[in-house]
Amino acid sequence: MPEAANAPEHGAPVITSETPGSFAWSVLDKRHPALIQQVRDAFPYTPEQHQALDALLEEITDGVIEPLPVGAHGEREWAEWGKGYFGRSWFEVPFLWAESYFYRKLLQAVGYFEPGPWQGIDPFAPFKRAELRGSAVAEELAALDDLADLPPDDQDRAVLLGALWGNRADLGFRISSGEVEENAGNLVVDDSAQLWDRLGSSSLATVCLVADNSGSELIPDLILIDHLLQTGRATHAVLHIKPYPYYVSDATTADVIDCLRRIAEAPGRARQIGGRLRDAMGSGRLDVRAHSFSCAPLPYAKMPVDLRADFEQATLTIFKGDLNYRRLVGDQLWPATTSFTDRTVYFPGPVIALRTLKSDVIVGLDAQTLAALEATGEAWRTSGTHAVIQGRP
Ligand SMILES: O=P(O)(O)OC[C@@]1(O)O[C@H](CO)[C@@H](O)[C@@H]1O
């Protein structure tokens, strides 16, 4: 008998999608089928690709989890990670695993890894490109001109909050919620002083930024990196991105290139920042890593040794976004007052999470804040209107 997928791991139930009406259920029941349709509409796919997408839709709605075809990219790893899950309903296995595997299977259906004309064609590229051409990004870049006139502390705050709230509207999130309201945010934990203290304390600092979405999130992330390098808070930055398309809008190397180009093509201060970031890449002050673990359906507590060594060398690691947060603290229904420090004690160095709340996982709230949030009766855990800056020195 396989172990129940939501058996408590270290004390809290692992999130699955079994409960109708729950957030995790809605992602599998609504968001994934809608996404298949959106991808289908965005490309002139072949009959074979349409058939494969039909089969995936059938599998995720009425079928059971099927393994990857023999010889497929990452087949061995997924066979291992999926032990005990194949042959079961997508809804009853861990939510994190089911979502990750859905994205891997979507790439399979459109032939992303297979030699041929569709190899390497990002099924989410049209959405990402449209966002880069959109007004939100143009406004983000134009706002940089006003930043230069602010006092240094206010500039620090502005670039940090830009990176934080840039996470509010990932493209997958927009699919089911519609456009997110402007400035509806509410920062419920703010450990940002830790970031400035930590990065102000060393003359040779390396900062790792584990990126999340491309477009209107990656652009402020890159601006934050430039700001840290420019102000001498960091002498070296490492940007961790995804080795292949994932969770709709997650940043890949191609997206980093597109975002850098978009920044450099903008007028005013943005153009200077774009030029500096390009130089930083050319001189090795800004490195980009695309580790395979970045697309693994696993918590960071299970990271491989080489990645661990990378984070170990960092003065500070910044984790961006909801998915990275879930993987950092564990995708489980922790009591919301569980200590963030306890949940990240395994991490090999100081870490800070910049995350807007878009799924059920949350730790590190004080009892008063939690009570106030619960009293609102709002879906504050999942609506993207609230955020945390949570650190462990
Ligand atoms: O990591 P991000 O971009 O902040 O958020 C991604 C995310 O909101 O999308 C999923 C639903 O598709 C959530 O489970 C997940 O955490």
189 with 337, same domain: the answer is: yes
| Ligand 1 pocket member 331 (CB < 6 A) | no
Fill in the DSSP letter of residue 155: H
Domain ranges, residue 53 = 23-109
Nearest to 167 by CA among 215, 232, 97: 215
pLDDT digits over 247-258, tens only?
A: 999 999 999 999
Looking at the CA of residue 32, tell me the nearest atom of ligand 1. Answer: 12
138 with 100, same domain: the answer is: no
Average pLDDT value for residue range 75-82: 97
Question: Hey, what amino acid is at 392?
Answer: R
Average pLDDT value for residue range 338-348: 97
Asked, for residue 12, whether it belongs to a domain, the answer is no
pLDDT digits over 288-306, tens only?
A: 999 999 999 999 999 999 9
Question: What stretches of 284-347 show up as alpha helix (H) in DSSP?
Answer: 305-313, 321-329, 340-343
Contacts of 61 (CB under 8 A, 6+ apart): 29, 33
State the Cα angle at 186 between 98 and 222, rounded to 5°: 70
96 with 206, same domain: the answer is: no
Three-class DSSP category at 232: coil
The residue to which tokens 């001189």 are assigned: 283
Confidence of residue 229 (pLDDT cuts 50, 70, 90): very high
Q: Report phi then psi at 215, rounded to 5.
A: 60, -125
Tell me what pLDDT residue 9 has.
56
The residue to which tokens 């109708």 are assigned: 20
- Percent helix, strand, coil in the chain (nearest 5)? 50, 10, 40
- The torsion of the CA quartet 289, 199, 167, 43, rounded to 10 degrees, works out to -20
Average pLDDT value for residue range 97-102: 98
208 with 327, same domain: the answer is: yes
Structure tokens that stand for 28 in this block? 């599998």
pLDDT digits over 15-72, tens only?
A: 999 999 999 999 999 999 999 999 999 999 999 999 999 999 999 999 999 999 999 9
Look at ligand 1, atom 3, and give the residue with the nearest C-alpha: 170
The residue whose CB lies within 8 Å of the most ligand 1 atoms, and thus the one to mutate among 31, 96, 128, 170, is 170
Confidence of residue 92 (pLDDT cuts 50, 70, 90): very high
Asked, for residue 208, whether it belongs to a domain, the answer is yes
| Ligand 1 pocket member 162 (CB < 6 A) | no
Q: How many domains does the chain have?
A: 2
356 with 266, same domain: the answer is: yes
What's the CA-to-centroid distance between 384 and ligand 1, angstroms?
10
Could you tell me if 265 and 136 are in contact, meaning their C-beta atoms sit under 8 angstroms apart?
no
Q: Does residue 7 surpass a pLDDT of 60?
A: no
Structure tokens that stand for 243 in this block? 């080795």
Measured CA distances, 277 to 82, 215, 260 (Å)? 39, 16, 8
The CATH number linked to 249 is: 3.40.50.10880
Tell me what pLDDT residue 327 has.
98
pLDDT digits over 259-273, tens only?
A: 999 999 999 999 999
| Burial of 200 from C-beta contacts in 10 A (0-12 / 13-18 / 19+) | exposed
What's the CA-to-centroid distance between 202 and ligand 1, angstroms?
34
Asked, for residue 156, whether it belongs to a domain, the answer is yes
Tell me what pLDDT residue 105 has.
98
Could you tell me if 241 and 251 are in contact, meaning their C-beta atoms sit under 8 angstroms apart?
yes
Asked, for residue 15, whether it belongs to a domain, the answer is no
Question: Hey, what amino acid is at 184?
Answer: A
What is the rounded CA–CA span in Å between residue 112 and residue 230?
38
What is the rounded CA–CA span in Å between residue 252 and residue 255?
5
The residue whose CB lies within 8 Å of the most ligand 1 atoms, and thus the one to mutate among 17, 29, 322, 325, is 322
Asked, for residue 5, whether it belongs to a domain, the answer is no
Asked, for residue 124, whether it belongs to a domain, the answer is no
Confidence of residue 169 (pLDDT cuts 50, 70, 90): low
Q: First-to-last CA distance in the chain?
A: 42
Could you tell me if 357 and 173 are in contact, meaning their C-beta atoms sit under 8 angstroms apart?
no
Average pLDDT value for residue range 333-357: 97
Buried-state track 74-89, b at ≥16 Cβ within 10 A, e below 16:
beebbeebbeebbeeb
- What is this structure's pTM? 0.94
Tell me what pLDDT residue 10 has.
62
159 with 101, same domain: the answer is: no
Residue, of 167 and 19, whose pLDDT is higher: 19
Residue, of 155 and 184, whose pLDDT is higher: 155
291 with 169, same domain: the answer is: yes
101 with 145, same domain: the answer is: no
* Mean pLDDT of the residues in the chain: 92
Confidence of residue 2 (pLDDT cuts 50, 70, 90): very low
Last residue of a domain, one of 76, 109, 142: 109
State the Cα angle at 89 between 85 and 93, rounded to 5°: 50
Asked, for residue 251, whether it belongs to a domain, the answer is yes
Interface confidence (ipTM) of the complex: 0.96
Asked, for residue 213, whether it belongs to a domain, the answer is yes
Nearest to 36 by CA among 89, 92, 103, 97: 103
| Ligand 1 pocket member 170 (CB < 6 A) | yes
45 with 164, same domain: the answer is: no
Tell me what pLDDT residue 179 has.
35
101 with 227, same domain: the answer is: no
Q: Does residue 182 surpass a pLDDT of 60?
A: no
What is the rounded CA–CA span in Å between residue 381 and residue 361?
7
365 with 273, same domain: the answer is: yes
What is the rounded CA–CA span in Å between residue 350 and residue 197?
11
83 with 154, same domain: the answer is: no
Average pLDDT value for residue range 218-238: 96
Confidence of residue 383 (pLDDT cuts 50, 70, 90): very high
Tell me what pLDDT residue 4 has.
45
* Residues forming a β-bridge with 287: 238
% of residues, the chain, pLDDT over 90: 85
- The torsion of the CA quartet 73, 77, 80, 84, rounded to 10 degrees, works out to -50
Could you tell me if 355 and 321 are in contact, meaning their C-beta atoms sit under 8 angstroms apart?
yes
Tell me what pLDDT residue 173 has.
38
Tell me what pLDDT residue 196 has.
96
